[in-house]
């Protein structure tokens, strides 16, 4: 599903230039009410010139992101910048990327799946 920007009635595709842009936008797309009672810390290691290391911290309905690495993440995602931008923009199927080894998950797969369902386009 491509990410969109603007009021719901006039949503247009968001140009994604780098992965930091994606993580900066995550708190605006998070369904806080649906995450009540859930705590997770997900580490993203994204290789490539448009990538970086990012941490998504979910704490009982709130979400924050930061650059860097997490102490004791509940899950870690390893991929490259083109794959991650493709997944977020809707041009790459995440299950295909996972099956082909382009997206690797360590730790609690449930946290990764739950985060995906709590993000709004």
* Alpha carbons 84 and 46: distance in angstroms, whole number: 8
- Tokens coding 26: 């995550």
pLDDT at 41: 97
Distance of alpha carbon 93 from the chain centroid: 14
Per the CB < 8 A criterion, the answer to whether 35 and 118 are in contact is yes
pLDDT at 46: 98
Topology of domain 4-116 in CATH is Nonspecific Lipid-transfer Protein; Chain A (3.30.1050)
Q: Read off the pLDDT of residues 107-121 as tens digits, 9 standing for 90 and up.
A: 999 999 898 887 765
The phi, psi pair for 51, rounded to 5°, reads: -100, -150
Match 């690495």 to its residue by tokens: 69
pTM attached to this predicted model: 0.86
Spell out the domain ranges in the chain: 4-116
| More confident of the two residues 6 and 67 | 67
């Amino acid at each position: 599903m491509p990410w969109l920007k603007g009021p719901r009635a006039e949503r247009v595709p968001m140009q994604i230039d780098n992965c930091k842009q994606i993580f900066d936008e995550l708190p605006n797309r998070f369904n806080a009410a649906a995450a009540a009672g859930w705590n997770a810390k997900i580490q993203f290691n994204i290789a490539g010139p448009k990538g970086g290391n990012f941490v998504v911290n979910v704490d009982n309905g709130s979400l924050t992101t930061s650059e860097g690495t997490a102490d004791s993440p509940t899950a870690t995602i390893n991929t490259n910048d083109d794959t991650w931008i493709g997944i977020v923009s809707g041009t790459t199927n995440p299950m295909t990327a996972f099956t082909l080894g382009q997206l690797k998950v360590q730790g609690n797969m449930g946290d990764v799946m739950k985060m995906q369902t709590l993000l709004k386009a």
